[in-house]
Amino acid sequence: MKHKKETEDFNTEEPQTPRHTEDFNTEEPQTPRHTGSDGVMIRRSRAAAVVFVLLCVLLLTARIILCATFTQERQQLKTKITNLTQERDQLLTDNMNLTEERQQLLTNNRNLKEERDQLKSERIDLQKKFADGLKCHQSTLYFFSSEKKNWTESRRYCRERGADLIIINNREEQDFVGNISVGSGHFWIGLTDVEEEDRWKWVDGSTLTSGFWKSGQPNNQGNEDCVNTHSSGWFDTECDSSLKWICEKSILK
C-alpha cells in the first residue's frame, strides 16, 4: 500500500517547466552596455574633426600672413639693397671724381712748380744777358741799355732775350722809368705809328689810349714814327735814329 501511495503521489505531481526555458522566454531584450560609450566617442570624434579643421584654417591663415609678411619684407629688403647699391655706386663715382680732381690738382701743382722754376731760370738768364742794366719793379724786369741802336734793332735785341720793348701802362711806371733815365738821355719804348699815321700802337698790338707826351709832342715832323722816352716825357722820332732802349719782361708769365 505504501508503494502504491508513493506511486500516486508520483503520478499526481504536476510537470514542471525547466527554469532555464522559462527564464529564456520571459527575459526582455537588453541594449548593449557599450552604446553610451559609442556616442561619446562620436561626439569626441566630431569635436576633434572641428578642432582639426580650425587648426588647419588657422595654420593656412598663419601661412598666408607669414607669406605676405615675408614677401613684403623681401621687397623692402630688395629696395634697401637697391638703394644701398645706388649709394655705393654714387660713392664710388664721387671717389673717382675726387681722385681725378686730386690728380688734376697734383698735376697743376707740378706744372706751377715747373713754371716757377722756369721763371727763376729765365730771370737768371736775363740777369746774365742784361748784366748791370737790369732793374726790377713790382712783377716786371727792365733792362736799360748802355749802347745805342735804331728802333727795329733795339726791339730785336729784346726779343732775342725773351723780352720786348717796354710798354708803359700808367703814371707809376712812367715815373719809375723817368727817374732811372734822368741824365741818361733818350730810350726807345715799344710804341709806333708805322702801320698807320697818328694811330699809335704798342708792340703787343694794343692801341694807345693815353700817353705821357712831352709838351708839343708828337709833332709828326718827317718820318717820326717811333717813340722814345726821356725824363721829361715822350718824343716821336725817326725809327732809324740811334738811341738807347728799354727791354721789359714780366716775371709772372
Kindly report, residue by residue over 62-105, the tens digit of the pLDDT: 889 888 888 888 888 889 899 999 999 999 999 999 999 999 99
Cα 88 from Cα 101, distance rounded (Å): 20
Percent of the chain exceeding pLDDT 70 equals 82
pTM: 0.51
Dig out the grid coordinates for 111 from the structure: 706744372
Average pLDDT value for the chain: 83
Instruction: Give me the residue spans of the domains in the chain.
Output: 132-250
Q: Residue 164 pairs with which residues in a beta bridge?
A: 248
Per-residue pLDDT of 27-52, as tens digits, reads 555 545 555 677 788 888 888 888 88
Position with higher pLDDT, 108 vs 134: 108
pLDDT at 127: 61
Between strands 187-192 and 244-250, the pairing is parallel
Q: What is the mean pLDDT of residues 209-238?
A: 90
Q: What is the mean pLDDT of residues 179-202?
A: 91
Q: Are the C-beta atoms of 123 and 161 separated by less than 8 Å?
A: no
Cα 11 from Cα 51, distance rounded (Å): 75
pLDDT at 39: 79
Percent of the chain exceeding pLDDT 90 equals 46
Please check the confidence at residue 199 and state whether its pLDDT lies above 50: yes
Work out the pLDDT band at 16, boundaries 50, 70, 90: low
pLDDT at 45: 84
CATH 1.10.3720.10 fits 132-250, yes or no: no
Position with higher pLDDT, 12 vs 108: 108
